[in-house]
Structure 1
Amino acid sequence: RLCREKPAASPLGKAFDAAFSLRIREAGEFYHTLQPGEDEDLANIQRQAFAGMLWSKQYFNIDMPRWLHGDPGQPSPPESRIHGRNREWTALNNEDIISMPDKWEYPWYAAWDLAFHCIPLAMLDAEFAKNQLILFLREWYMHPNGQIPAYEWAFGDVNPPVHAWACLQVYKIDAERNGRADKSFLKRIFQKLLLNFT
């Protein structure tokens, strides 16, 4: 206890309970629009899977030049770091909210996993899914040779080429759900996907 007064029986009041009940009802209505006519058990499983996808968004920050050379005004890192893993990813500088494989057990991004994550995420939030796919094609993620960073412990590892496929799937899901095809998304990613492919 941090004070002498007895804690209130309902510290947040009735307004909180009403607002919370309303949010629960609105969430149920939202998910029902995603799963019309779905078996109740299957809809519940899918809703839990969606919750896991939304829960696994995480802020991720890595500044490779700073990691390789150390913090200004601090002792230099060991010389072995300059010759160690990820040394060729000097342009990589990430500071974004990213869909992670699992915030608890795998709190780093993996490009292959992210591509697959974006497909169910497109059902919930197509703009977020498209922006995640675009993000990994940006110049502060992508290597100058066109490679997409694989994962933190070895950005240069080779992954199956699923990014372009995921982009196409997200494009189709978005078009079906919103009734319009976002061709500007395809135009925006095309050149970088060509770089990645070659």
Structure 2
Amino acid sequence: NNETIQLLDESILEKNQQANDQLTLPNKKKYNSLVIEGREFGSARGTHFDDSTHPYFTSSHYLNGILARDNDDDLESYQFYYSSSCGSQDIITSERHGKQTLSFKKDFQFDKNEKIQKVEGHYLNKTIVFSNGTNVTMRIITGLQFYTTKGHASPSYAGEEGVMFEEEYEGYTLWYATGRSDEYIHQLQFYWYRTLDIN
């Protein structure tokens, strides 16, 4: 009887361990990946963009700064700066995402080789009145801020705040951005590159 109980206990322990391995394996696999595809913040409205398709973008480029414009409505368009870890390559600037153009809100670059480890921003449901009188409520991304591995932050945003989002992955730094935009930025998704060797 004792032997039967011991065998049953061992069998249960083994099944529990297998179940735990199955639960944690996806996380371990993701954590050990060279690149992590971040979450999609915002909505599926607008046209898709992908900064990694820039003709001069290479695997050695990484997001290193931001140029934000607005039309005095606290809603921004963004262009991102990409530095390269190869000294011979110039900084490249993404296409403008969104169509806000009247004033400069932020034009900021971190020092070369300074990597971004965390992103914060807001999305809000905003009712927009178009010139034809149509009212449309849409989700818009705003208030983007970056934090580096050296403890520095890009300028903070003082406009209208919505639902805050943030993203960071231990051992990874920001590589490039994708998303969706038209007049405004409706979605952002970030790709992260592993910077630490993980056993």
TM-score range, shorter chain: under 0.3
- Considering Cα pairs closer than 8 Å and 6+ residues apart, tell me whether 1 or 2 has the greater RCO: 2
Which has more helix, going by share of residues?
1
Give the alignment's TM-score, normalised by structure 2. 0.21
